[in-house]
Amino acid sequence: MVLSWNDAVDIGYGRGRLAREAAESLSRVDAALGRPADINEAWRSPEQANANYARYLAYLRDPRNNPWAPIALPADQSVHCVGYAVDTDDTADWQMRVWNDHGWFWTVYRNGQLVERWHLEYDRDRDNHRNQPASVGGSTPFTPAPVEPPKRKKRTMINAAWQDENGTIAVQAVPGGKVTLLTDPREWAGIAAATGAEAARVKNDELQQVLQRYGQITAPAFDTSTGAAAQIVVPLDGASDRYQVVGDRVEWINGDQLQKLLDTGARTVFLARDQIDRMK
């Protein structure tokens, strides 16, 4: 049964609405993450769900003459419409451990492959904190529980990577960032060697869903949302040398300098060797 807007609960911070017990769980997730979770969509109106489904069917029937559309279900089958699903960019490994502990799980798979990393659904029976009291709405600041992200084996800004059937690899540097397409396997070999990252195998249309979801930028640029933070340059060929961006140039840095930059929140970008040489 579709949940009405009036019966759904405001989850605060302009993020939309959910069924009450899902909203209460999300409030506990917020506290565990240390901030309000990034929610792109929660409860969905039946009108919107049916419109999404119509576009999806049109694309499946005639993909050449209809724009790409993400996987969608009609309102009477959509978990969004009953208030038990969210779309979020907070899906790093340590964040998923928090979501899973609170009963939120990935559900959209095709041929055994996860195709919608952003889509999570709530299962009360799997919520280890379901009996803990929680307020909903997010109208007042909360005191977050201390959560320390796990230490990584290697310093890296690679959040996710996908490889389709043609060998094209899409790399996302930070959660929610735009995706860079790599068509030269040597580029990905360099990134994998430098960061320890692995690419998930997906179908061509599934990779298009990723691009539609996050947007795309042209290699060798990577979206690291740097703002005013310092930038560390890592060679794509996997070499161990590191550089700091200084204006429009790069300067070699030693291990101590690298650690200091990392400790101050510096961001990492990956560049081809010839591009680094031109910037020296």
CA distance 104 to 79: 13
In this prediction, the residues of the chain whose per-residue pLDDT falls under 50 are 138-156, 226-228
**Considering the entire predicted model, what is its pTM?**
0.53
**Segment 77-92, tens digit of pLDDT:** 999 999 999 999 889 8
| β-pair partners for 162 | 170, 200
- The confidence score (pLDDT) of residue 80 equals 96
- The confidence score (pLDDT) of residue 72 equals 92
Q: Are 252 and 241 in contact (CB under 8 A)?
A: yes
Burial string for 215-243 (b: 16+ CB within 10 Å, else e) reads eeeebbebbbebeeeebbbbbbbeeeebb
State whether the Cα torsion 114-118-122-127 is positive or negative.
positive
Backbone angles phi, psi at 61, to 5 degrees: -70, -40
- The confidence score (pLDDT) of residue 229 equals 56
User: Which segments within 6-108 are labelled E, that is strand?
Assistant: 9-10, 17-18, 39-41, 85-88, 102-106
Identify how many contiguous H helices and E strands the chain contains and give both numbers: 7, 17
Backbone angles phi, psi at 261, to 5 degrees: -65, -45
Q: Are 126 and 103 in contact (CB under 8 A)?
A: yes
Q: Are 245 and 133 in contact (CB under 8 A)?
A: no
**Segment 154-199, tens digit of pLDDT:** 434 566 778 887 778 888 776 667 788 877 667 777 677 666 677 7
- The confidence score (pLDDT) of residue 195 equals 64
CA distance 4 to 18: 10
Q: Pick the closest to residue 157 from 240, 231, 243 (CA basis).
A: 231
- The confidence score (pLDDT) of residue 228 equals 45
- The confidence score (pLDDT) of residue 147 equals 40
CA distance 61 to 64: 9
- The confidence score (pLDDT) of residue 167 equals 79
Burial string for 24-58 (b: 16+ CB within 10 Å, else e) reads bbbbbbbbbbeebbbbeebbbbbebbbebbebbee
CA distance 263 to 266: 7
CA distance 102 to 273: 44
